[in-house]
Structure 1
Amino acid sequence: GLYSLKPNTLDEQVALRHLEESRGRGHVVAVVDGNNLEQELTLPMMLKEKGYSLTVAVNMMDEVAANRKILNLAGMTELAGVPFFGISARTGEGVDALKKHLARARAAASQPSPILGLSNHEVEQAYRMGRQEGLRVAGANPPGRMSALLLRDQRVDRWVLHPVLSPIFFLLVMFTVFQSVFTWAVPFSDLLESAVAWMGGFVKAHVTWEMGASLLADGVLGGVGSVIVFLPPIAILFFLIGLLEYSGYLPRIAFLVDRLMKPWGLDGKVFIPLLSSVACAVPGIMATRTIENHRVRLITIMISPLMTCSARLPVYALLIGTFIPSSRVMGLSLQGLVMFGMYLVGIMAALGVALVLHRLGFERTQPTVEIIHLPHYRTPDWRSLGRFVLARVTVFLKKAGTVIAGMSILLWLLLTFPRDKELAASFDSRIEAAATAEEEERLENERAAALLERSAGGRIGHILEPVFAPIGYDWRLTIGVLSAQAAREVFVATLGTIFALGASEDGEGLSATLLAARNPDGTPLYNLGTCLSLLAFFAFSLQCVSTIGVAVRETNSWKIPALMWVYMFVLAYGAAFLAYQLGLLLSGAY
């Protein structure tokens, strides 16, 4: 992330401070792009003149060779007085030779003589004066010839970065991504849902201790299993995002966004933090350290949680897959359209809040000039892409195995105890006297539902139900929304646990259970209005303890995170109320 020894951002300050603290105790490897030596050689040479023990690794040598360029690394080594090694991190070319050299360099621990008494700025100026001679020796900039790689990039960028066509192209790309997420993931999610249901039935059939069977089947599998079902769409989403990133397209979106963000009081550097927030707001907020403008950084921190993160995806997938018809509109999946719309809602909400904060004069500072480096287009390295997806999937599974599993067990305890023994005994006698199997099944379901409402969790839900009743939530959804304060995915786990405990037998998926749920008068318990209300609430509310914690750390204050939670809750509640009324109108419930 460094281009010189003059830091402008928090990230650069941290990197430079680490370099200064480790001088004389370690060996620096400066990795530069062999296709872009003109810009990237400045920093290594400044490090050399400041007295660091240095090796320069020239990466992308496979692309350099494909572009029919020859870099005289031996000449650069002789001219600069530091070793240059050609490598390709993608193919592994030259990596072993670099490792052997570093082992020898660590043992020798030799250092060049620094230019004493010069500031970082003076060292940079001194190096720039001799840079062209060094590039001539390296053969990096043959006169009168533009590389085939650059010509190809320019031909593609003529369309991709077109002032009019580029936003349309971007929307088409993202629309295709979310259509693919829903279309490709359905069979895998259905398979996982069937597997979870089978495991729940197996546990109940073979574990003789009733409480133990309920804990495993209703608590752990009912909670964690309901979330694991949505692993396929998450994996597919990150695969497609990684494909765009490794191909070189995503940095160009940052270039486009720079122009589009100006009217909203932002700039192109907010793109990477906001894009990171699509995975999780925690790394997104941490990525704001690369933003030089303090006002823009604070605004970006405040709007990052509005981006549709992967934690929302299980909630959206459950609600959309349950209540939105699986029909097609002009050949396109309606469910995919709604999912794409939810991501657009998050983006537009973030921009709208940013504009309001900008108009309010939130921490006004002088604007800065942004320089964005555009990499070459390239075929993705499939191993790197696989590791990228695996890392994101692993994070999701770890969360499912720790936070969500812990919350599921806690919810099972709250929704199981205290046991009303008199009520249970009353139902047991009625079940024994049942004349038909249908009546016995009905009484068993009534028994499970009645015990659930008498539990500690059920009583808490009933107490708080009036707060959320105007936006269409009963006591079950109220418990789900409250439990989601720990992590949004817990909402799905909570409903899985509640409806597993509230029925006599497991076997149906959560979507089918939600659709089959009925009020005492026989009308559907949840409808389109409930779905739209929940979608709106989860789109705008700040339901993540980790996000609040990292916001406190990055702002060194509780004021900004507190303001974030308040404005997002008000926005979420208001949007949910309007969405609920709209849903009732569309479904004819009025």
Structure 2
Amino acid sequence: MSKKEKQIVALIGNPNSGKSSLFNILTGLRQQVGNFPGVTVDKKIGSTDLGNNNFVDIIDLPGTYSMYPNSSDERIVTEILTNPDNPNFPDAIIYVLDVMNMERHLLLASQLIDLQIPMVLALNMTDIAEKEGLVYDSEYLEKKMGVKIVPISCREEKNIDILKATTLEKLRNPIEAKSNEFYSFSKSDKAVIEKLQPFLKEENKYRVLLVAHHHHWLKHISAADRINIKNITDGVHFESIKSQINETMSRFAKFTPFVRQLEAKANPKSESVTDAIDNVITHRVFGPIIFFGIMLLVFQVIFSWSEYPMTWIEDAFAWGENTVKDLLPDGWFTRLLTEGIIAGLGGIMVFIPQILFLFLLISLLEEVGYMSRAVFMFDKLFQKFGLNGRSIVALVSSGACAIPAIMSTRTISNWRERLITIMVAPLISCSARIPVYTVLIGFVVPAGSFMGFNQQGLAFMGLYLLSIVAALGSAMVFNIILKKDNNSYLMMELPIYKPPIWKNIFYNVKEKVLAFIVEAGKVIFVISIILWFLASYGPAAKMKMAETQATEISAIKGLDDEASEQLLASLKIENSYAGHLGKFIEPVIKPLGFDWKIGIALITSFAAREVFVGTMATIYSIGGTDDESTIRERMASEVDPITGKPIYGFATSLSLLIFYVFAMQCMSTLAVTKRETKSWKWPIIQFVYMSALAYLGSLLVYQLFA
């Protein structure tokens, strides 16, 4: 029995093997997501009863193709399995193998066998194999592999109880397989093992060989030991790359002949159907067209499906605010609850429908096997920008909202490419910018048509194209600046098309939504309260003067109660701490054509870009309405008291448009960036570089056209 409180069983397998599906079946609601120490990769761990109240911890390790990893996610598997003292080191392994791709998946299986960790091999997708006429002999395979084999189907949850019982038996009687059954060490390997084994005090020879290959990055190897190991490997002229190639070829040579004997495809329908679909789906011309058609459909669905629940959420929180106001006496505490806390929570919850529907649809496309094709199509192009084929999902998703888009980058295994995607995704114009664009475009582009197209609509499209160019250009810069920790290349198999497993989709969506509410929500909640305080309070004398002015002006102009309240709100926000901050930054933003009122909008709209419109409504005292046409009319009538020129002339409006195209005016996005990178460093860099881009872009535009 392990010294741990509960024994650990690791789920290991290639990507798309069904490993996560099995994890969901075994753990159900008894699972949680954390992160591996020192890295940003999620750690999924849960509990399961293997039978008769024999509970063990199940850890779902990242998918990998071999013990020679190509990404930071894959390195975690090697890091754990080369260090028996690691707290996540498993007492047993369930290796999940896709029977439809048996030969490729046996490479990692054979390496795990040589590590001599008790293992059960779960032959997954047997239901699909049987339907496609794939005949296999699991007893023959078990004899050849030297480990217990259990045919299962995650889709039908077939033989799961047998798998549990077999795993429990393996934990009780950990009979180890013969060492090096699939790989006969080369002369160079034997030499380095002979020298390193006494130094590492490790009995397993294959684990010693892996340390020889990976000692330069393994975290459990100290700096001093790395130097000693390097001296030993250099002393015996150990060539790591050559050894890895020899080992891989040797292993395939061992198991390929009996796999070919094992498989007999009487009716290989799956390949022909999949290939026929792929001939169209991945076509050089039709493939991208189909992809953007699907993405267009996805976002149409997201907007149409999320519109009502988002309205219900907003109405619910508005009702909550009014109810609290009715129940509690007016005062700072009531305003804190209504304008700060409840409004802050509403700002969090209103994003949930978009997040839910986006991940529902993306998970569905992933489950049926389509997203792997999209990644394959765009990987070569995106590599030139330091991105990954999987970045296409995040960049397109940003057209709806950068928050779920950044969360979707978890599918990118290479940390550097994932980071670049996170850093540039908010540049893509999201739906929150639409109210700002709608208000300002009318000041820049007159109504009318050009070659049959609406001129303002073309300008709208131009802003989106500008954001795409900015995102790709910024990606190229990050690609140059960020150090490459390893060479990235696309290594993946295209799974067969299959019906989705709805349980997987449910758990995936649940994980993403809860992660946003709990992790990002905490930051958004705090900042909402801070912004409320800044906009609601100011120096006592100034705020008192604002009340006096509002009373006098209301009496002179004969304003009704609603208009008087709006006038008071306008004067109070001017004299609030936010107003003072707006006037404080006015010298900085004046070269962009902005006055202190726009400065306040820039500050308050940091809560969310669309707040710009509401802030303008308050500042310009338009009776409490946020009707965009009314705001445009009021803004259009604003003139500079000194020059007499319109405040929102062509140059200022265009400058403000450019600012909102580039600026990081969304605390929710920064909160999610912090959550996904597990550090404040990257959201700070993201805020600084996007703000600099926005400032310089606006400065250039205003100085050219003023």
Question: Are 2:686 and 1:568 aligned?
Answer: no
Could you give the per-residue CA deviations for residues 52-110 of structure 1, whole angstroms, max 9, x where no partner exists? 11111122223223323233223222322211122222332222322232233223333
Residue 476 of structure 1 and its aligned partner are, at CA, apart by 5.8
Could you give the per-residue CA deviations for residues 337-369 of structure 1, whole angstroms, max 9, x where no partner exists? 9999877655543332344566x7986899765
Residue 148 of structure 1 and its aligned partner are, at CA, apart by 1.0
Match of 1:537 in 2: 662
TM-aligned CA distance change 1:247 to 1:580, over 3 Å: farther
Match of 2:76 in 1: 14
TM-aligned CA distance change 1:489 to 1:211, over 3 Å: closer
Q: Is the contact made by 1:464 and 1:478 (CA closer than 8 Å) also made in structure 2?
A: yes
Q: Secondary structure at 1:380's aligned position in 2?
A: coil
- Selected match of 2:533 from 401, 413, 418: 413
Match of 2:54 in 1: none
Residue 458 of structure 1 and its aligned partner are, at CA, apart by 1.9
Residue 533 of structure 1 and its aligned partner are, at CA, apart by 3.7
Residue 413 of structure 1 and its aligned partner are, at CA, apart by 2.0
TM-aligned CA distance change 1:361 to 1:491, over 3 Å: closer
Q: Is the contact made by 2:122 and 2:152 (CA closer than 8 Å) also made in structure 1?
A: yes
Q: Secondary structure at 2:147's aligned position in 1?
A: coil
| Aligned mates of 2:517, 2:583 — CA distance in 1 | 32
Residue 407 of structure 1 and its aligned partner are, at CA, apart by 1.5
Q: For the aligned residues, what is the CA RMSD? A: 4.8
Residue 256 of structure 1 and its aligned partner are, at CA, apart by 1.0
Q: Secondary structure at 1:85's aligned position in 2?
A: strand
Bigger proportion of residues as helix: 1
Could you give the per-residue CA deviations for residues 98-142 of structure 1, whole angstroms, max 9, x where no partner exists? 2232233223333223236564646645532331343246x4x32
Which range is displaced more, 30-39 or 193-202?
A: 193-202
TM-aligned CA distance change 1:519 to 1:494, over 3 Å: closer
- 1:214 partner letter: R
Alignment map for 1:339-488 (pairs within 5 Å): 346-355=467-476, 370-398=490-518, 401-418=521-538, 419-420=540-541, 422-423=544-545, 426=548, 430=552, 438-471=559-592, 475=596, 478-479=599-600, 481-482=602-603
TM-aligned CA distance change 1:3 to 1:48, over 3 Å: same
TM-aligned CA distance change 1:159 to 1:463, over 3 Å: same
Q: Is the contact made by 1:315 and 1:491 (CA closer than 8 Å) also made in structure 2?
A: yes
Residue 227 of structure 1 and its aligned partner are, at CA, apart by 4.8
Could you give the per-residue CA deviations for residues 132-191 of structure 1, whole angstroms, max 9, x where no partner exists? 343246x4x326x67211111111111111112212222222222223333333333333
Alignment map for 1:126-275 (pairs within 5 Å): 126-136=250-260, 139=262, 141-142=263-264, 147-261=268-382, 263-264=384-385, 268=389
- Selected match of 1:290 from 414, 429, 432: 414
TM-aligned CA distance change 1:334 to 1:33, over 3 Å: farther
Q: Is the contact made by 1:307 and 1:350 (CA closer than 8 Å) also made in structure 2?
A: yes
- 2:432 partner letter: V
| Aligned mates of 1:48, 1:245 — CA distance in 2 | 30
Alignment map for 1:321-340 (pairs within 5 Å): none
TM-aligned CA distance change 1:262 to 1:236, over 3 Å: closer
Residue 280 of structure 1 and its aligned partner are, at CA, apart by 5.8
- 1:385 partner letter: I
- 1:465 partner letter: E
| Aligned mates of 2:376, 2:691 — CA distance in 1 | 32
| Aligned mates of 2:521, 2:687 — CA distance in 1 | 27
Residue 539 of structure 1 and its aligned partner are, at CA, apart by 6.8
- 1:252 partner letter: R
Could you give the per-residue CA deviations for residues 233-292 of structure 1, whole angstroms, max 9, x where no partner exists? 33322222222222211111121113323554666476688789865687678776637x
Q: Secondary structure at 1:208's aligned position in 2?
A: coil
- 1:66 partner letter: K
TM-aligned CA distance change 1:232 to 1:264, over 3 Å: closer
Could you give the per-residue CA deviations for residues 434-464 of structure 1, whole angstroms, max 9, x where no partner exists? 996x433332222222222222222112211
Residue 545 of structure 1 and its aligned partner are, at CA, apart by 6.4
Which range is displaced more, 2-11 or 571-580?
A: 571-580
Between 1 and 2, higher relative CO (CA 8 Å, sep ≥ 6) is seen in 1
Q: Secondary structure at 1:91's aligned position in 2?
A: coil
| Aligned mates of 1:81, 1:128 — CA distance in 2 | 16
Q: Is the contact made by 1:537 and 1:572 (CA closer than 8 Å) also made in structure 2?
A: yes
Match of 1:100 in 2: 165
| Aligned mates of 2:701, 2:300 — CA distance in 1 | 23
Which consecutive residues of structure 1, in runs of 5 or more, have no partner in the other structure? 292-296
Q: Is the contact made by 1:183 and 1:336 (CA closer than 8 Å) also made in structure 2?
A: no
TM-aligned CA distance change 1:279 to 1:444, over 3 Å: closer
Q: TM-score, normalised by structure 2?
A: 0.66
Q: Is the contact made by 1:458 and 1:475 (CA closer than 8 Å) also made in structure 2?
A: yes
| Aligned mates of 2:344, 2:438 — CA distance in 1 | 18
| Aligned mates of 1:65, 1:130 — CA distance in 2 | 26
Which range is displaced more, 240-249 or 496-505?
A: 496-505
Which range is displaced more, 398-407 or 530-539?
A: 530-539
Match of 2:152 in 1: 87
Percent of pairs with identical residues: 25
| Aligned mates of 1:492, 1:463 — CA distance in 2 | 23
TM-aligned CA distance change 1:92 to 1:300, over 3 Å: closer
